[in-house]
Amino acid sequence: MIRRAILTGLAFGAGGVHLAVVGVLLAMHQRWIVVEVLTLGQAALLLLAGGAGAMMREKLAGLLAGATAAVPLAALTVAMATVPLHGIFIALSQPLFDMLTVDEGLAGGIAILIGGGALAGLLGAAVRSSPPALRRAVGPAAIAVIVAGVFQELIQLMLQQYDDAIVDFREFIYTWEGLSVQGAVTIFVVVAIGSEVLGSVWRRRTARMQQRNHRRERLVWAGIVLLILALLPAVAGSYVGQVLMLVGLYILMGMGLNLEVGLAGLLDLGFVAFFAVGAYATALLTADAPHALAHLPYWGAMPIAVLLSICVGVLFGLPVLGVRGDYLAVATMGLGEIVRVIVQSDFAAPLLGGAQGILQIPKPRIGDFVLSSPVSLFYLTLAASAVAAFVAWRLENSRLGRAWMALRDDEDVAQALGINLVRAKLLAYGLGAAFAGLAGSIFATMLSSVYPSSFQLLISINVLALIIVGGMGSLPGVVLGAIALIGLPELLREFGEYRYLFYGAVLIVMMRLRPEGLWPSDVRQRELHASDETLALDAGADAVPARTS
Amino acid sequence: MTIRGLSRLSAVDVVLWTMRIAVVAVVVLGTAGTLIKGRYTAEQWFDFVMFGLTIGSIYAQIALGYTMVYGVLRLINFAHGDIVMTGAFAGYFVATPLDRSGFLESQPVLGMAAILVVAVATSTGIAVLTERIAYRPFRRTGGLAPLICAIGVSFFLEQTFRGMFGSAVKSYPEPEWERAAFDVFGFNVPRIDVLVIGLALFFMGGLYLIVQRTRMGTAMRAVAEDGEAAALMGIDVNKVVVFTFSLGGAMAGIAGVFYAFVYKQVYFLMGFTPGIKAFGAAVLGGIGNIPGAMLGGFFLGMVESVGPTLFLDGIGITAPYQLRDLIAFTLLIMVLIFRPQGLFGERMARKRA
């Protein structure tokens, strides 16, 4: 028991040291949650210790685990004070030292670290063993305070638009640099009571309704989320519009890759190539530049770009028809890289503009109205996404969609059942490419220019990550994944350089804990239920937590 | 096999044959054109070959890690290229102070030994850690999950090193003795090339002996042959997997230091390209086949170094050197499509393709 507490604590502490050494911790320390009281970095450390505590069943063990979680960090501060580590590890700077020791010097700092860790661990264990009613109230309330604090700039900007009506309310909740103490307390209390009341009403209702309404309930939620997404930019201004536009583009691509990976099981890491084809085709057909082949209006170029992407998708799929599984992933990645190397080279420069790219792509216009602002382009993306989502939804339930799923589950059996593998696979590549090509086309007109450096392997990985997080084969999952992985990092811009660290961690954690994604498709969830049980058995077999220190 | 199953459709065959013919045509026409034009001297060709062997010996070492892990776990360790990067970084932080103090200059053998030991210790440690934390839970799950997790590990390692040491390209020290060259029949043979190839051959020979002669190596081959049967015979599979990852990690560490010495720089994304190419080399040699991976590495290095000039210059492509990666990736894709069992054949690969 004690051994388990110590090992858990050390594992969580090692996570904390990783955050510190990589530099995320200090970056998080720059954001207040509650002004002059708690920063995001401190909250992260408290959450780590609390998490270690919550892994324990008893309060005393939680206390021990929380305190041990602070030990690696304490050791780090000692090391920083004695060895000049800053020369090698750029993140281990004086400000980090001051943050970890709370400006109290080495001895005092360590005492605070370990004491704070122990308290947080105790609290974590206490929350775990508390009655569910309390947990249901505290959880959402804490999240609400964190969201209100972290996104204060954005929320304040939004609220300021309506200042004549609610200026007193805004000034009560926020000071100009963030959430005030009374604001935090108010939000916490209101949300805690609200979620408790709403939660009990909700439960009473769902208890009466049977499970078959589960699906409809989720659709209602999806509708609400979409409505908010659609109205938000008009309310919140052009910055949010820009972010949501990017989210929209990734939703488009995610739905495309979802056809390939989620339905047909073809892991394609060269997906960015189709995006690039869409963007370059649009550029070459519309741009006011020497490379341009034509000067079509945007609406003429877009369908051609999509058609071209389909052709490239089929061409791309043809050679790799016989390649499966892991090999397919590497082969498609190689194809994607080949496209990039060619576009970037001097060899193709006369046609594609080389590393300088193609500039001066006009914005789309409807009559006399030019879609130039981010918000209007967002609505273009939204319309495209809506059409694409409808197509994807119909495809999923079509004969072709079922053929894809059969293909995903077992290629040989699918073929034996009379599914035309060549046709099914090529359609998956072609239709997936169409979505990406459409996204690429909008991307080109959004930036008014295309550069080969915009089409890195990273984009393929981003799209893959978002459909995995959302849930493979699930359309609402794509939306959720895009909001979580593209929208959030865009809003938390000072952590921008850590976003891929976060992606890596998310991929590993999702694969281990929730391989079906946050919002799994119904089929997928049923399928994975069996393997979940074996996973649980596996986890039970080696219950010793990972030793990362 | 699927390709045969699909062959009822001639359109697919046509495309595949067009690809084959196009590649062969480029190779033949390009070679003929380059040789007829005769713009390159014998010294230049010799330099290309030397560089090909050097970089090939590095690919061979990285490929060993892929092939051994694949043999034992049937997993493409997508993060293996990043393990190479960790070795190069660890070597950098030893090499730089040694170079500044003049120790690397006066004691090249001891200095190199110190660099290699630290690099190997780091990369081995990280390889074993990734196995324990990220790969072991997937031992019994099939499908795409392990590969996706490996992609996550790759990102995580890259970004961790970026966060710790910054995103700038750091230049590796270049001691005086490394720049000198031997003179063999009038050709210039750079010392660093001889060092890299010689040490690579030495270490790979050592690895081959370990795998063939030691108890642990025998156990490893047994697990690669049939994991369940090996477990029933009393072989501790977990131990074998850790052993495999540490052998691969050690090779990756050495390769990382050499790669950094050849290209004279380290940065956090440096592992990606050699990683993918070395994976190609492993497939080329028949994945799971250890001597095959070594040969595949040398072959890939040669093609990549000689290829752009030999194949592309002849058909009038400007700046063929920029298309070096194109040749390597094309080779990779061609092998994956047309000969997934590798040039030298390997029974294991038949199950995959």
d(CA B274, CA B276): 6
In this structure, the number of other CB atoms found within 10 A of the CB of residue A314 comes to 17
Q: A206: which 2 tokens?
A: 């769902």
Closest-CA residue to A46 (of A33, A58, A36, A57): A33
**pLDDT profile of chain A (549 residues), mean per 10:** 84 87 84 81 86 82 86 87 81 82 81 87 84 80 84 79 77 80 86 83 68 65 75 72 85 89 85 89 81 77 90 86 81 85 75 75 76 80 86 86 86 85 88 91 86 82 87 82 83 78 86 76 58 45 39
d(CA A477, CA A485): 12
Asked if A500 lies within 8 A of B159 by C-beta distance, the reply is: yes
What is the reported pLDDT for B123? 93
Residues 6 or more apart from B284 whose CB is under 8 A from it?
B292, B296, B299, B300, B331, B335, B342, B343
Distances (CA, A) of B201 to B53, B197, B258: 11, 6, 13
> B3, B164, B167, B304: best mutation site toward chain A, by most A Cβ within 10 Å?
B164
Q: A514: which 2 tokens?
A: 């929730």
What is the reported pLDDT for B346? 56
What is the reported pLDDT for B9? 55
Using the Cβ of A90 and the Cβ atoms of chain B, whether some distance falls under 8 Å is answered with yes
Angstroms from A189 CA to nearest CA on chain B: 38
Asked if pLDDT for residue B311 goes beyond 90, the answer is no
d(CA B246, CA B257): 17
Decide if B161 contacts B270 (C-beta within 8 A). Answer: no
Asked if A322 lies within 8 A of B329 by C-beta distance, the reply is: no
d(CA A204, CA A202): 5
Q: How sure is the predictor about B5, in pLDDT bands with cuts at 50, 70 and 90?
A: low
Query: Which chain A residues touch B118 with a CB distance below 8 Å?
Result: none
Model pLDDT for residues A460-472, shown as the tens digit of each residue: 888 988 888 888 8
Helix axes A2-22, B145-165, angle to 10 degrees: 60
Strand order in the sheet with A32-34: A38-39, A32-34, A178-179, A174-175
pTM of the shown model: 0.85
Model pLDDT for residues A227-256, shown as the tens digit of each residue: 777 777 777 677 777 888 888 889 899 998
Closest-CA residue to A263 (of A114, A81, A398): A398
What is the reported pLDDT for A528? 54
Closest-CA residue to B178 (of B165, B196, B162): B196
d(CA A143, CA A162): 25
For B144, what's the count of Cα atoms within 13 Å in the CB-facing half-sphere?
28
- Mapping DSSP to helix (H, G, I), strand (E, B) and coil, where does residue A188 land? helix
What is the reported pLDDT for B80? 92
Radius of gyration (C-alpha) of chain B in whole angstroms: 21
Asked if B9 lies within 8 A of A341 by C-beta distance, the reply is: no
Query: Which chain B residues touch A421 with a CB distance below 8 Å?
Result: 2, 5-6
Burial A231-266 (b: 16+ CB within 10 A, else e): ebbeebbeebbbbbbbbbbbbbbbbbbbbbbbbbbb
What is the reported pLDDT for A359? 77
